[in-house]
């Protein structure tokens, strides 16, 4: 009974390609997120959607485009991949916008750019 699931778990591709990462949550949460974790384990939010509406976009290049077809899904499409995009990308969800509600994370997608 996976709560937040991401696919694929590993993604190896060449510079310049376009790729997508999918995320689904079965917790009934309203809000979903994408985080990027770099090689030094530093975690930073990229995007957040609440009920399919974009609410956070943290100075992420236009090559990254999130899409939320419904509140249980938040996909991340990346165009023209660059070496610096190599990282682990985590999807997360939370029930509401209230600050005391924890976020639930997926297991991550490790993206490697050759």
Q: Which listed range, 14-22, 48-56, 65-73, 76-84, lies at the site for another protein (CB under 8 A)?
A: 48-56
> According to the binding rule CB under 8 A, does residue 68 interact with another protein?
no
Tell me whether residue 18 or residue 38 sits nearer to another protein (CB atom). 38
Which is nearer to another protein, 14 or 99 (by Cβ)? Answer: 99
Q: And the tokens for 88?
A: 């682990």
Work out whether 54 is an interface residue with another protein (CB under 8 A).
no
Report the residue from 19, 56, 65, 67 that binds another protein according to the rule CB under 8 A: 56
Q: Which of 1, 59, 70 is nearest to 32 (CA)?
A: 70
- Local structure of residue 103 (DSSP, 8 states): P
- Could you tell me which residues are beta bridge partners of residue 9? none
- Token pair for residue 38? 């770099």
Query: With CB under 8 A as the contact rule, which of the stretches 15-23, 40-48, 69-77, 79-87 interacts with another protein?
Result: 40-48
Query: Which residues in 1-114 belong to E strands, given as ranges?
Result: 4-7, 10-13, 19-25, 31-37, 43-50, 53-57, 64-70, 73-78, 87-94, 104-105, 109-113
List of residues contacting another protein (CB under 8 A): 4, 31, 33, 40-45, 48, 50, 55-56, 58, 90, 92, 94, 97-100, 102-108
């Amino acid at each position: 009974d996976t709560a937040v699931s991401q696919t694929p778990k590993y993604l190896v591709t060449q510079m310049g390609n376009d790729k997508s990462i999918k995320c689904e949550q079965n917790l009934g949460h309203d809000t979903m997120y994408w985080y990027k974790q770099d090689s030094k384990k530093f975690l930073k939010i990229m995007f957040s959607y609440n009920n399919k509406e974009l609410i956070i976009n943290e100075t992420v290049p236009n090559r990254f485009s999130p899409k939320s077809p419904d509140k249980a899904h938040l996909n991340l499409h990346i165009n023209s991949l660059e070496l610096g995009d190599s990282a682990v990308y985590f999807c997360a969800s939370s029930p509401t916008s209230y600050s005391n509600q924890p976020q639930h994370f997926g297991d991550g997608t490790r993206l490697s750019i050759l």
